[in-house]
Amino acid sequence: MGKAPKVVEMDIYPVAGHDSPLLTLSGCHAPYFTRNIVVLKDETGNLGIGEIHGGEHITEQLNSYKPFVIGERVSEYRKVLTNIRRSRQQSAADDGSGLQELNISNLKFVVQSEAAIECAMLDLFGKFLELPIAALLGEGGVQRDEVEFLGYLFYSADSNKIDLPYEKPDGTDSWESLRRSEMMTPEAIVKQASVLKDKYGFNNFKLKGGVLSGEEEMKSVDALKAAFPDARINIDPNGAWSLEEAIRLSQGRKDVLTYIEDPCGPESGFSSREVMAEYRDATGIPVATNMIATNWRQFHHAAALRSVNIVLADPHFWTLDGSVRMAYLLNEWGLTWGSHSNNHFDITLATFVHVAAAAPGNIAPVDTHWIWQDGESLLKEPIEIKDGKIKLFDKPGLGVEIDLDKLKKQHELYKQMPFKDRDDTIAMQYLEEGWTFDPNRPVFCHK
C-alpha cells in the first residue's frame, strides 16, 4: 500500500449557524452559535475534516497547532496530538473548576481543541486504509452498524420578546415552525416530543432543565412519560437543584426517570461529586454526568465516590480516542457510556456516529443538538436520522464530504457577528431585566 500521505494544508474556518431562544441554567441561547471547522488536505488531494466548539480562544489554539500538523503523515495522528498537548500552556484565566457549576466562560477550557485535528487526520487515514474511523478507534473496531440518538427537548422563550435577529417560523414543516416558537408548558414539551418523534423517529427523550422550578419541570417529565410510556425519559437540571430538593423531586419516580443527569451542584462545602453520590445512595436512580467527570482525574474521584452510573464522554471534551477508551473502561466496570452535545453542525453529528459505533457494551442513546440546526448543513449529502438512529456510513474515513461553498457561507455569517464567544446572558436581559447567572437558581426562580 505504501506510506500514508502527508498533510500539506491546514485551514481553520470559524463558522456560525442560526439558533433558537433555547433556555438552560446559563440563560437563553443567542440567535447564533459558533463552531470551528478544521480542513486538512493531504498530498493526494484528499480532504479531512473535523469540528469543534466556537470562540476566538479555540480558533487561536487551532491556528497555533499548524506547525505540528503540516508535513506529518496522517498515520502519525497520535504523535501529532501528543506534541500539541506538550506545547499547550494553561490559560491564566483557567482556575481548574471546569463545568462543575456550569460556568459557560469555562467551557473553552474544558474543550480539547485538538479533537478536531484528530478527527480530520483520522478522516484522511481512514480514506488511505479504506476503513471507517470507527474501525480505527478502540480495541475491537466497529461494535455496531447503527447508533441510536435521543430527542433533546428544551424550554424555548418567545423570540418576539427579544430584540435580537432570531429566525421566525416559516411554515415549511411542523418542526421548522415549532422549533422557533415559545414552548414553556408540559403540554408544549409533549407536543415538541411528538413532532420530533414524527420527524426523526426518536424513541427516547431528554429534557434540559434548570429553567423553571423543579416541581414545574417534573410535571413535564411526568407528562412525557404518560405520553410515551415505553420511552426512556431523562432530565438534566445542570446541577441547579439542592440535594434535598433533588431527593424530594425524585421520590416515587423511579418508574418515570430512566436516569437523571447532574441533578445537584456543590453545596455546604462538598463538591458535586460528593453531593451526587449522596443523591444516588438516597434515591437509587441512575445518575449521568457531563459536568463532574470531564477528564480522567475528575473521573477518578467520581468513580471512587460512586457518584455516577453513566459518563457522557463528549469526544470534544475527551477526544475521539479518549471517549472510546472511556467506553471500554466503563463497560469493564459495569457502568454505561454516552455522549453529551452542544450546538453543532453535521460534521460533529458524523463524529458522534463513529465514536458511538466504536463504543462497546450497552451504550446510552446519544445526545445531539443537530435537530435544532437541521437544514443548515456543511455537507454535500445530508445525514438522515430515521427511527431515531443513524446508520454507520458506507464510505471510508468520516464517511461524509464537506461542501466548501456551504462552509464559506457559514464563515461569512460568523464574520458578521458582533461578538464571537457564547454569552447566554444577553438574550436573558430582554426576558428578565438585570438577570444574572446563578448556578444554584433555575433561570426563572428567584431566591
Cα dist from 306 to 35, 100, 325, 328, whole Å = 34, 17, 19, 18
Lowest pLDDT segment from 116-120, 386-390, 442-446: 442-446
Average pLDDT over residues 242-267: 95
Percent of the chain with pLDDT over 70: 94
Sequence-ordered list of residues with C-beta below 8 angstroms from that of 354, at least 6 positions apart, any chain? 132, 133, 134, 137, 320, 392, 398, 399
Average pLDDT over residues 11-26: 96
pTM: 0.95
Predicted confidence band of residue 422 (pLDDT cuts 50, 70, 90):
confident
Predicted confidence band of residue 108 (pLDDT cuts 50, 70, 90):
low
Q: What is the 3-state secondary structure (H, E, C) of 329-370?
A: HHHHHCCEEECCCCCCCHHHHHHHHHHHHHCCCCCCCECCCH
Please check whether residue 108 is in contact with residue 53, taking contact to mean a CB–CB distance below 8 angstroms: yes
Q: How far apart are CA 38 and CA 80, in angstroms?
A: 15
Strands (E) across 2-90 are located at: 7-18, 23-24, 27-28, 32-42, 47-53
447 pLDDT above the threshold of 80? no
Average pLDDT over residues 20-32: 95
Q: How far apart are CA 259 and CA 32, in angstroms?
A: 31
In this predicted structure, what is the pLDDT of residue 106? Answer: 54
Domains and CATH numbers, the chain: 6-131+405-417 (3.30.390.10), 135-398 (3.20.20.120)
In this predicted structure, what is the pLDDT of residue 183? Answer: 97
Q: How far apart are CA 308 and CA 291, in angstroms?
A: 11
Residues at the binding site are 236, 267, 290
Beta bridge partners of 22: 156
In this predicted structure, what is the pLDDT of residue 97? Answer: 59
Q: What nine digits make up the cell of 59?
A: 480558533
Per DSSP, the three-state class of 57 is: helix
Q: How far apart are CA 74 and CA 48, in angstroms?
A: 10
Per DSSP, the three-state class of 133 is: helix
Predicted confidence band of residue 359 (pLDDT cuts 50, 70, 90):
very high
286 pLDDT above the threshold of 90? yes
Average pLDDT over residues 213-231: 97
Choose among 258, 156, 148, 155: nearest CA to 201: 148
The CA angle 147-148-152, to the nearest 5 degrees, is 130
Average pLDDT over residues 91-100: 58
pLDDT in tens, 366-380: 999 999 999 999 999
298 pLDDT above the threshold of 60? yes
User: Whole-number mean pLDDT of the chain?
Assistant: 93
Please check whether residue 84 is in contact with residue 50, taking contact to mean a CB–CB distance below 8 angstroms: no
In this predicted structure, what is the pLDDT of residue 445? Answer: 84
Sequence-ordered list of residues with C-beta below 8 angstroms from that of 213, at least 6 positions apart, any chain? 442, 444, 445
Per DSSP, the three-state class of 256 is: coil
- Residue 400 one-letter amino acid: V
Q: Identify the DSSP state of 267.
A: B
Predicted confidence band of residue 122 (pLDDT cuts 50, 70, 90):
very high
Q: How far apart are CA 311 and CA 291, in angstroms?
A: 9
Choose among 71, 30, 73, 69: nearest CA to 50: 69
First to last CA, the chain: 66
Residues at the binding site for Mg(2+) are 236, 267, 290
Predicted confidence band of residue 104 (pLDDT cuts 50, 70, 90):
low
Q: Just list the catalytic residues.
A: 208, 340
Q: Identify the DSSP state of 5.
A: P
In this predicted structure, what is the pLDDT of residue 421? Answer: 83
Helices 296-305 and 272-283, interaxial angle, to 10°?
40
Kind plus residue range of the DSSP H or E element containing 208:
strand 204-208
Percent of the chain with pLDDT over 90: 86
Q: How far apart are CA 338 and CA 85, in angstroms?
A: 25
Predicted confidence band of residue 418 (pLDDT cuts 50, 70, 90):
confident
99 pLDDT above the threshold of 80? no
Average pLDDT over residues 68-94: 88
100 pLDDT above the threshold of 60? no
340 pLDDT above the threshold of 60? yes
- Residue 357 backbone dihedrals phi, psi, to 5 degrees: -70, -25
Q: How far apart are CA 14 and CA 11, in angstroms?
A: 10
Average pLDDT over residues 396-414: 97
Please check whether residue 147 is in contact with residue 389, taking contact to mean a CB–CB distance below 8 angstroms: yes
Q: What is the bridge-based pairing of β-strands 146-148 and 47-53?
A: unpaired
In this predicted structure, what is the pLDDT of residue 176? Answer: 87
Q: How far apart are CA 267 and CA 242, in angstroms?
A: 8
In this predicted structure, what is the pLDDT of residue 412? Answer: 97
Q: How far apart are CA 122 and CA 48, in angstroms?
A: 8
Lowest pLDDT segment from 60-74, 172-186, 201-215, 222-236: 172-186
Q: What nine digits make up the cell of 91?
A: 490559560
Please check whether residue 305 is in contact with residue 273, taking contact to mean a CB–CB distance below 8 angstroms: yes
